[in-house]
Amino acid sequence: MSDIEFGLDTFGGVTHDHSGAADTHPEVIANLVGDGVVADELGLDFFAVGEHHRPDFAVSAPELVLAAIAARTSSIRLGSAVTVLSSDDPVRVYERFATLDGISGGRAEIVAGRGSFIESFPLFGYDLKDYDVLFDEKLDLLSKLVRSQPVTWSGTTRASLTDQSVFPTTAAPMPVWVGVGGTPESVVRTARYGFGLFLAIIGGAPSRFKAYVDLFDRAQDQFGVPRAPVAVHSPGLVAETDEKARDLVYDGWLAFRTKLGAERGWGPVGPDEFEHEIERGSLYVGGPETVATKIAATLRTLKVNRFDLKYDQPVPHAVQRSSIELYGDKVVPLVKDMLAGG
């Protein structure tokens, strides 16, 4: 497991200062660009920025933010987490990421997904009743664009293409992942296209996703495609001690979980659920050794190729930046040592 990669993901969630006042969207974006630069300086492998279209998240155009990071970094790979492909145009997605690939010297990766929110559908004129066909057809077209041009394609969700080339070109094919929340159909579809599997494990025991990793392996064998990598994305925060980390995260976690629960009809939560997610679920909150031990256990169980910590917990940005530094300086080396020790 010596070749496992370690990354950071952010949705650009709006942060607050210590008085509780919300940071502006420009402040959040500027801080996020700085986070990417620090991640590169720490020697991390991957930095991903998600796409949302709602007031509690500042980033609606991840490629622009990633381009700003690319211009100030040299090594870290850069991608989305995720690009909401269902409500976008695969041609434009390809063009934007190919441009990012050129700016970054070949470091761009596409993580395509349906998205966990639906605001982009009415915003861009799509009907939710077409939810499945939109993603299926657009993923099919994207697969052709990144692998071989010119492209001939037809479907029901956009204009057909006949021997069409799309620019700019890239020096090598861009890696593509599919963000999956945990349905067997999504796992099999990802395998069929030969894309990487990007598992969003945001609640419950990570071990329950072992069945999906195994299914992905079997499906790739069945389709006769080369083995593609698997990544895990999970939320967390690192502080100097377990107690401090819990204290920093709880209020914001509860507020966001309560707000999201009200939108989606979930039941109320409280301290018991918070502790359960830290102790046995998918919330990586604690001091460096605690978080490293939990990440190492997840990697041993799932045998994946990359672990990404979604670091943008609802805390002041200074706390997020400290968490990034502890993750890169202490947690990742500890995990590597633990895995090397068996």
The CATH number that applies at residue 289 is 3.20.20.30
Mean pLDDT over 194-200 rounds to: 97
Cα–Cα dist 135/58, whole Å: 24
Per-residue confidence (pLDDT) for residue 267, from 0 to 100: 84
Angle value at C-alpha 223, between 183 and 6, nearest 5 degrees: 60
Give the confidence band of 154 by pLDDT, cuts at 50, 70, 90: very high
Domains contained in the chain, number: 1
Give the confidence band of 66 by pLDDT, cuts at 50, 70, 90: very high
Query: Please, is 185 exposed, middle or buried when counting C-beta atoms within 10 Å of its C-beta (0-12, 13-18, 19+)?
Result: exposed
Per-residue confidence (pLDDT) for residue 244, from 0 to 100: 98
Mean pLDDT over 164-174 rounds to: 96
Per-residue confidence (pLDDT) for residue 1, from 0 to 100: 59
Task: Give the list of residues 6+ apart from residue 190 with CB closer than 8 angstroms, or none.
Answer: 178, 180, 196, 197, 216, 228
Q: Are strands 151-153 and 161-164 parallel, antiparallel or unpaired?
A: antiparallel
- Span 212-244, pLDDT tens digits: 999 999 999 999 999 999 999 999 999 999 999
What residue type is assigned to position 260 of the chain?
L
Mean pLDDT over 291-317 rounds to: 97
Q: Which residue range is the domain that position 293 belongs to?
A: 5-340
Average pLDDT, the chain: 96
Is the distance from CB of 201 to CB of 233 less than 8 angstroms?
Answer: yes
Whether the predicted model's global pTM rises above the 0.95 cut: yes
Per-residue confidence (pLDDT) for residue 272, from 0 to 100: 95
Tokens representing 310 are 């979604």
Whether 2 has a pLDDT exceeding 80, the answer reads: no
Q: Comparing 1 with 83, which gets the higher pLDDT?
A: 83
Separation in Å, CA 77 to CA 13, 86, 131: 21, 24, 30
- Span 71-91, pLDDT tens digits: 999 999 999 999 999 999 999
